[in-house]
Amino acid sequence: MKITLQQISFFLILASLVILPFVNDSRTLIILLTQIFIFGILAMSYDILLGYTGIVSFGHAMFFGIGAYTTAVMLKQMDATLTMFLLSIVTGMFFAGMISFLVGLLTLRLKSHFFAMLTLAFSGLFLVVAEKWRSVTYGNDGFTFRAPDIFKERITFYFFVLACLAVIFIALYRFVNSPTGRILIAVRENEQRTKSLGFNTLHYKVIASVVAGIVASLAGSLYSLSLRFVNTSVLTMDITLDALLMTIIGGVGTLVGPLLGAGVIEYAQHALSGLARDYPIFERWIIFFGILYILAVLFFPKGIIGSLRMLFWKWRSRRKGNKKSPAALPHKKERFE
Amino acid sequence: MELMVNLMINGLATGMLIFLLAAGLTLIFGLMDVLNFAHGGLFVWGAYAGIFTYMYTESFLIGILGAIGTGALLGLITEKLIITPVYGNHIQQILITLGLMLVLQEMIKVVFGPNGVPVKTPSYLAGSWEIGDVIIIKYRLFIIVVGFVIFGIFQYMLKRTKIGLIVRAGVQDKDMAQALGIHIKQVFLYVFMVGAALAALSGMLMAPYSGVIYAEMGMEYAILGFIVVVIGGMGSFSGSLLAAILVGLAGSFMAYYVPVLSLAVNMILMAIVLIFRPQGLFTMRKERST
């Protein structure tokens, strides 16, 4: 088996993240990194939809919320042990899978506009249910719960989340490079043509939506455990927007992009809320992200990773000196349609 | 009986407000093939700008004019800066208008403060009439009248005037209209501005009705607007009136009889329509080529 540059860098980054807590055990850093990993998982799952299959879903918070609530409710109502936590992750994934399957089957036949609106409406419905079903969810006030003893230490939780991230990354990498993943990309590039090649595109879009839903639910479970608290904010549009922002800014259609995006956004949030103490304008940091996001959609539709990759290709083709074959370059105006 | 009349009036008034919001949405979609997710942002800007003008000048009418002006101005800026670069690319349109929605909503908090603002109904529209057991709240009646008047004006404009002819031609076939010498981009801009102004007007009228305005109301009502547009059929003007009344009435009756379902009823309506008749309930035109 040939070891590629990508595999080497993957293991190097993983190793440095494993070593990091022993070098610098600052509490804020560990918490920030844990948060980045969790949202990285969420953003990667979102990119399966947006970047690989080319569907815009505004209901991703629904699956995140399902995971978060399943974990929180099970740890609160039953006992807070590690087994129960793992069981709650699996249960959450199961529910998220079922619901994304049903919703996907109903809605993925529709054109992009309608799909985006319907997912928005469905996640709105979930939010309303969570607000009203006070006996279990305690509505907007939310509730706290005890974490399993092993996760009392932030460090162990950090390693657990890191392990989840690594596993999910490898699994999704295999998934998008599998024959199914290739067909998802074909759907993104040209759905009509894929259909006429004999693929049932609805079938593949539902697969993408189920995979994305399941992974998002895992992120939700980890998120609620990291806070040891859950309220209806996990189901709001903000979560979907975060995932969207991370994916767009990091780079759609890659798995590293969303991770990088999660890092950038979470770090910026952290830094800006620090600045907000001195300059009140930074309390409204969403504005900066919103403007950044609009500019990214307009000028860097491929995000950080995509733009870097483009530069790299340009550089390589120039070095080889075959300027005469511009066909080797990816098309410059290529946008995710 | 009295109860029925009251519920009807409630439902109609809500329906009319949603109609004003949805009318802009559906016109913009029908003509430009753009689904404007920032419509709720224009709605809430209309509400805030209008109410602050009203509080400053003490005249509700000037407030309404202020809202309409703000809406049209924001529409102009939005169309020029945000929409024009992404014509024809649906995914980018969805993403970018959602981003704009976010910015507009947060800008409200920066400019007018993050807390909700209580709104008083102007004195000549406050209070109610009692006819037998039926209590008719004046402001609700006012909204219904305004809604029907605006519907009438637009219907007349669309069906009887040269401008309407151009817009309808654009909805039917953009390329053909352009080939016949109509500056279609210019038409797009004006329609977008009118749509934005309608959204702002709707926000302004909503303010005394709900009694308080807050930044997040944009998204809440925008979702209702989307639902109405889907039920009524994208691009159909009268369809959205019927659908808005349907949604308004369903909401008000459900809120009384089955309160648990009142928030879900619209979503369920939309889901049913989308699954069984994705082109909308009231469309007469041939199906849009997809």
Residue percentage of chain A with pLDDT more than 70: 93
pLDDT of residue A1: 55
**Residues in A lying within 8 Å of B, measured between beta carbons:** 54, 56, 58, 106-107, 109-114, 116-118, 120-122, 124-125, 128, 132, 237, 241, 244, 248, 281, 284, 286-287, 289-291, 293-294, 297-298, 301, 335-337
The closest of A193, A57, A61, A194 to A112, measured between CA atoms, is A57
* pLDDT band at residue B283 under the 50/70/90 scheme: low
Closest Cα in chain B to A301: B92
Token digits for B163?
């401008």
Across chain A, mean pLDDT equals: 82
CA distance B39 to B94: 12
pLDDT of residue B109: 86
pLDDT of residue A282: 66
Q: Which of residues 206-245 of B touch A (CB under 8 A)?
A: 219, 223, 226-227, 230, 234
Strand spans (E) along B124-187: 128-131, 134-137
Mind giving me the DSSP string for A207-248?
HHHHHHHHHHHHHHHHHHHHHTEE-GGGGSHHHHHHHHHHHH
Instruction: Give the distance from residue A272's alpha carbon to the nearest chain B alpha carbon, in angstroms.
Output: 16
Mean pLDDT for A94-116 is: 84
The closest of A259, A258, A300 to A50, measured between CA atoms, is A258
pLDDT of residue A2: 64
pLDDT of residue B285: 52
Mind giving me the DSSP string for A42-75?
HHHHHHIIIIII----S-HHHHHHHHHHHHHHHH
pLDDT of residue A333: 45
Query: Which of A113, A244, A249, A288 to mutate to test binding with chain B, by most B CBs within 10 Å of its CB?
Result: A113
* Single-letter code of the amino acid located at A327: A
* pLDDT band at residue B290 under the 50/70/90 scheme: very low
CA distance A45 to A42: 5
CB contact under 8 A, B103 and A291: yes
Helix, strand counts (H, E) of chain A: 14, 2
- This prediction has a pTM of 0.82
pLDDT at residue B238 above 90? no
Across chain B, mean pLDDT equals: 84
Token digits for A136?
């279990």
pLDDT at residue A158 above 80? yes
pLDDT in tens, B13-63: 889 988 988 888 888 887 777 888 888 899 999 999 999 998 888 888 898
Q: Where are the domains of chain A?
A: 29-249
The neighbouring-strand residues paired with A229 are A144
* pLDDT band at residue A328 under the 50/70/90 scheme: very low
CB atoms within 10 A of CB A290: 23
Mean pLDDT for B233-251 is: 85
Closest Cα in chain A to B219: A237
Nearest CB neighbour to A287, from listed B107, B267, B275: B107
pLDDT at residue A337 above 70? no
Alpha carbon of residue A236 to chain centroid? 15
pLDDT of residue B201: 92
HSE-up of residue B82 (Cα within 13 Å, Cβ side): 28
Interface size A-B, in CB pairs within 8 Å, comes to 102
CB contact under 8 A, B267 and A237: no
pLDDT at residue A283 above 60? yes
Q: Where are the domains of chain B?
A: 24-216
CB contact under 8 A, A116 and B94: yes
More reliable by pLDDT, A19 or A216: A216
* pLDDT band at residue A228 under the 50/70/90 scheme: confident
CB A104 within 8 A of CB A119: no
CB contact under 8 A, B103 and A132: no
CA A260, A265, A267, A271 torsion: positive or negative?
Answer: positive
Which residues of chain A have a CB within 8 Å of the CB of B82? 294
The closest of B85, B202, B209, B204 to B139, measured between CA atoms, is B209
Residue percentage of chain B with pLDDT more than 70: 97
Residues 6 or more apart whose Cβ sits within 8 Å of residue B153: none
pLDDT at residue A305 above 70? yes
Instruction: Give the distance from residue A33's alpha carbon to the nearest chain B alpha carbon, in angstroms.
Output: 26
CB contact under 8 A, B90 and A113: yes
CB atoms within 10 A of CB A178: 11
Nearest CB neighbour to A290, from listed B85, B103, B267: B103
Could you tell me if B98 lies within 8 Å of chain A, comparing CB atoms? Answer: yes
Nearest CB neighbour to A128, from listed B95, B263, B270: B263
Instruction: Give the distance from residue A312's alpha carbon to the nearest chain B alpha carbon, in angstroms.
Output: 25
Instruction: Give the distance from residue A121's alpha carbon to the nearest chain B alpha carbon, in angstroms.
Output: 6
Nearest CB neighbour to B219, from listed A125, A237, A291: A237
pLDDT in tens, A80-96: 778 888 888 899 999 99
pLDDT of residue B115: 82
Could you tell me if B265 lies within 8 Å of chain A, comparing CB atoms? Answer: no
pLDDT of residue B287: 43
Instruction: Give the distance from residue A37's alpha carbon to the nearest chain B alpha carbon, in angstroms.
Output: 24
Residues 6 or more apart whose Cβ sits within 8 Å of residue A61: A123, A234, A235, A236, A237, A238, A239, A240
CB contact under 8 A, A287 and B103: yes
Which residues of chain A have a CB within 8 Å of the CB of B35? 113, 116-117
CB contact under 8 A, B230 and A56: no
pLDDT at residue A327 above 60? no
Name the 3-class secondary structure at A143. Answer: strand
pLDDT in tens, B138-195: 888 888 999 999 999 988 888 888 888 888 888 778 888 888 888 888 888 888 999 9
pLDDT at residue B69 above 80? yes
